[in-house]
Amino acid sequence: MAKKPFLSKMSAKSKHTILRTAVAILIGLGLATILIYTTCSRPKTAIKLFFTAPLQSWSYFSLWLEKAIPLMFTGTAVCIMFSANQFNLAMEGAVMLGGFFGGALVNIYLLPGKTIAGIAVGSLIGGLVGALITFIPAILYKTFNASIMVTSLMMNYICLWMSNYLLGNYFKDPKTSFGTYQWAPNSKPIMVKSIDMGNHDVLKIYYALPIALIVVFVGWFLLYKTNFGYKLRQVGENSKFANYVGTNVVFIALASQIIGGFIGGIGGANYIMTNFTTYNIVDLTGLGWDGVTMAVFSRNNPKNVPIAALFIGYLKASAYIMSIKVGVQHEFTQIIQGVIVVFLLAEQFLSKTYRKMIIAEANSQREDKKEAE
Amino acid sequence: MNTIISGFIQVLTNPLFYANVITCTAPILVASLGCAIAQKASMTNMGMEGIMALSSFIGVIVSGYVHGPNPFLGLIVSIVVGGILGYVVATFNLKLKVDIVLVGIAMNLVCQGIPAFCLPLVTPNHDRSSTNSLITGLLPKIDIPIIKDIPFIGPIVSGQNILTYICFLLILVMSFLVFKTKLGLRIRAVGENPNAAESVGISSNNVKTIALVISGMLGGIGGYFMAAAYVSYFSKGGIGGRGFIALAACSMGNANPVPTALTSLLFGFFFALGNFSSTTGISNYLLNMMPYIATMIGVVIYSVVSAKKEKQRLAGKKE
């Protein structure tokens, strides 16, 4: 029997998944191209920037990584919570307060000037704060059966105003209009090392990158290589079944959210220590919602999160560069993100093609059988 | 402490405060009625925030460009756009089988992205955060003849924006729709048991779509309120989480119009308290936090009470 090419070995279902993903991404990118082309005064320059900007110089390349790293944290966090089918949407709040306590306050008051200890303790404290924030809606659901979606959404805004309140009333540097004291000398973020590449080009080394990759790996290992992860996914797939086979569903559901919040909080702390030297954020960062996008892109498997994060990070970086160079508003990445998400999730999208694929598969199987006989 | 108490008394005896409560309630109220009608058909309209943002943006732009400032036209456009967006949510959920909550999240991303992206393209001065340079106008305020002369009550009830009155009237309209019409009955039937509804010849997909379109239209009104009655321009982030609060209000009110409206009033109260923070002497950050904390507590209380009722109901059945 002749050796079959790689594609025909796959089942129709996974072929269809790949096709759908590709088409969804193409729709997103096509839409982006149309948007830029129809609205920009210099469309050719803009399009070129959109597709190639992060590869044009070291500093743009660094920007790409800078945008992708926080998504790896929140993406992994949401993957773990969604794998257990817990729609906890408090990731925004976890990032915000995790960043405020772990990223800013630890480095200002607890360990000023001690970079490595500051990063380590900051990440830990950020993680604990984040865990607390996702834990509150979780425990309210378990004890009182209060809708987790509603309480976790409210949690985000509570965190926002809490950080504003603490910042405005207790931790404000009187010299600024709304910001904490500087925690880094020379206004250089403590988690970044800049290397001059000549020609005003700077490559930035992000200490958060290895941390993010470790988090992704641990997340994947936890979900797919441990007994706990197996039970967690079981709860996500069918919590009644999990209950009947003796899994402690309540414990797993709570644990998944605490772990998710912990990772989100670490992400928040790292985000602050990578991008800022003073905490002056007055609005939600949007990184939590990006985490949901990441989870959808990576089909709840942390293994795929880095690729998804690099993809969206690339879009975000080039949009940012475009907004500076040709004045296109960078928010248009949100539009693309949303469009790709719905088409990725649309089970019935390209369903006719799927039917054809299944028929083709069945036919080829029948022929194989005949051949064997 | 004494200054805070006297500050509170000052606020609570000020008719302007109550007028502000009503103004703050209106957009949340109408959006929460929108969430409620969708929820009755067991569709969680998570995209309310985005629907409000995009529909109000388009409404404001149209009102600014067509016929000079024409806020009434803007209102109609917002409602139509809201309805269309509701239809889009329904299509993605029912036809393409995307999870309803995730459609909502994607909807929020897209619908908040479009206004931000388009702002500099459609405003005369290429504004980046609001439509300040485009004159779009406010909807008129209405004085109610006899009532406006009643002391204390007059300044609260009269002199509100016309859209505020419409929002409050919608409580009655929606109650009537849900409980007294054929469509309302169908929506409730589909929400409670789609299979049973299907078995008597009701197309659950059609009914759900209609519910979401109505939900979107109400969202359009709520969004437009923020841009043509609350202030006279559209701003990026101007909806400020009211779509999510509406979702919470609907959840606390068990998706029934009147309880949902009462819950929105609670949020309106805390929002107004935030606006009057300088008088109370409490940090406005803390007061801004109040509606959200109140929601969490409210949702918990609601869950406890309904669990108890359910228990009693089951216990009653056994006997």
Q: Kindly determine whether residue A342 and residue B97, on different chains, have CB atoms separated by under 8 Å.
A: no
Phi, psi of A202 (to 5 degrees): -125, 130
Closest CA to A287 of A320, A218, A334, A220: A334
Determine contact, residues B130/B234, Cβ cutoff 8 Å.
yes
Determine contact, residues A82/A248, Cβ cutoff 8 Å.
no
Q: Kindly determine whether residue A140 and residue B110, on different chains, have CB atoms separated by under 8 Å.
A: no
Size of interface A-B (CB pairs under 8 A): 143
Structure confidence at residue A4 (pLDDT)? 52
pLDDT per residue as tens, chain B (319 positions) = 778 888 888 888 888 999 999 999 999 999 999 999 999 999 999 999 999 999 999 999 998 888 667 889 999 999 999 999 999 999 999 998 898 999 999 999 999 999 998 888 888 888 888 888 888 878 888 888 888 888 888 888 888 999 999 999 999 999 999 999 999 999 999 999 988 888 888 899 999 999 999 999 999 999 999 999 888 889 888 888 899 999 989 988 888 999 999 989 988 998 888 888 778 778 888 888 888 888 888 888 888 888 888 888 888 765 4
Distance from CA of A137 to the nearest CA of B (A): 9
Locate the chain A residue with the closest alpha carbon to B106: A338
Q: Kindly determine whether residue A154 and residue B296, on different chains, have CB atoms separated by under 8 Å.
A: yes
Q: Kindly determine whether residue A341 and residue B106, on different chains, have CB atoms separated by under 8 Å.
A: yes
Chain B contacts in chain A segment 294-323 (CB below 8 A): 296
Q: Is A337 on the interface with B (CB under 8 A)?
A: yes
Structure confidence at residue B222 (pLDDT)? 96
CA distance B47 to B52: 9
Which amino acid appears at position B43 of this protein? M
Closest CA to B88 of A32, A337, A343: A343
For B241, the closest of A157, A331, A332 (CB atoms) is A157
Locate the chain B residue with the closest alpha carbon to A141: B300
Q: Kindly determine whether residue B109 and residue A158, on different chains, have CB atoms separated by under 8 Å.
A: no
Span B152-196, pLDDT tens digits: 888 888 889 999 999 999 999 999 999 999 999 999 999 999 888
Selected residue of B117, B266, B305, B310 to mutate for chain A interface (largest A Cβ count, 10 A): B117
Q: Is A146 on the interface with B (CB under 8 A)?
A: yes
Q: Is B318 on the interface with A (CB under 8 A)?
A: no
Q: Is B241 on the interface with A (CB under 8 A)?
A: yes
Q: Kindly determine whether residue A158 and residue B296, on different chains, have CB atoms separated by under 8 Å.
A: yes
Q: Kindly determine whether residue A165 and residue B289, on different chains, have CB atoms separated by under 8 Å.
A: yes
Structure confidence at residue A8 (pLDDT)? 58
Q: Is B288 on the interface with A (CB under 8 A)?
A: yes
Chain A contacts in chain B segment 68-107 (CB below 8 A): 92, 95-99, 101-103, 105-107
3-state SS assignment for residue B142: strand
A19-23 contact pairs (CB < 8 A, 24+): A19/A350, A19/A353, A20/A343, A20/A344, A20/A346, A20/A349, A20/A350, A21/A344, A23/A343, A23/A349, A23/A350
The alpha carbon torsion through A334, A339, A340, A345 (nearest 10 deg) reads 130
Locate the chain B residue with the closest alpha carbon to A323: B117
Q: Is A6 on the interface with B (CB under 8 A)?
A: no
Locate the chain B residue with the closest alpha carbon to A331: B113
Locate the chain B residue with the closest alpha carbon to A351: B96
For B244, the closest of A145, A153, A328 (CB atoms) is A153
Q: Kindly determine whether residue A335 and residue B92, on different chains, have CB atoms separated by under 8 Å.
A: no
**Euclidean distance between the first and the last CA atom of chain A, given in angstroms as a whole number:** 12
Q: Is B4 on the interface with A (CB under 8 A)?
A: no
* Both tokens assigned to A258: 């605490």
CA distance B188 to B201: 15
Q: Is B122 on the interface with A (CB under 8 A)?
A: no
Q: Kindly determine whether residue B96 and residue A339, on different chains, have CB atoms separated by under 8 Å.
A: no
Distance from CA of A276 to the nearest CA of B (A): 23
Q: Is B283 on the interface with A (CB under 8 A)?
A: yes
Q: What is the mean pLDDT of chain B?
A: 89
- CB contacts of B286 in chain A (<8 Å) are 161, 165
Locate the chain A residue with the closest alpha carbon to B89: A342
- CB contacts of A161 in chain B (<8 Å) are 285-286, 288-289, 292
Block mean pLDDT (10 aa), chain A, length 373: 56 81 90 86 87 91 95 96 93 96 93 90 96 96 90 92 92 89 85 87 93 97 95 93 92 95 97 93 91 92 95 93 86 89 82 81 84 81
Q: Kindly determine whether residue A337 and residue B120, on different chains, have CB atoms separated by under 8 Å.
A: no
Q: Kindly determine whether residue B101 and residue A149, on different chains, have CB atoms separated by under 8 Å.
A: yes
Locate the chain A residue with the closest alpha carbon to B117: A329
Closest CA to B157 of B9, B14, B18, B11: B18
Q: Kindly determine whether residue A158 and residue B128, on different chains, have CB atoms separated by under 8 Å.
A: no
Structure confidence at residue B296 (pLDDT)? 87
Selected residue of B48, B102, B254, B288 to mutate for chain A interface (largest A Cβ count, 10 A): B102
Phi, psi of B141 (to 5 degrees): -95, 155
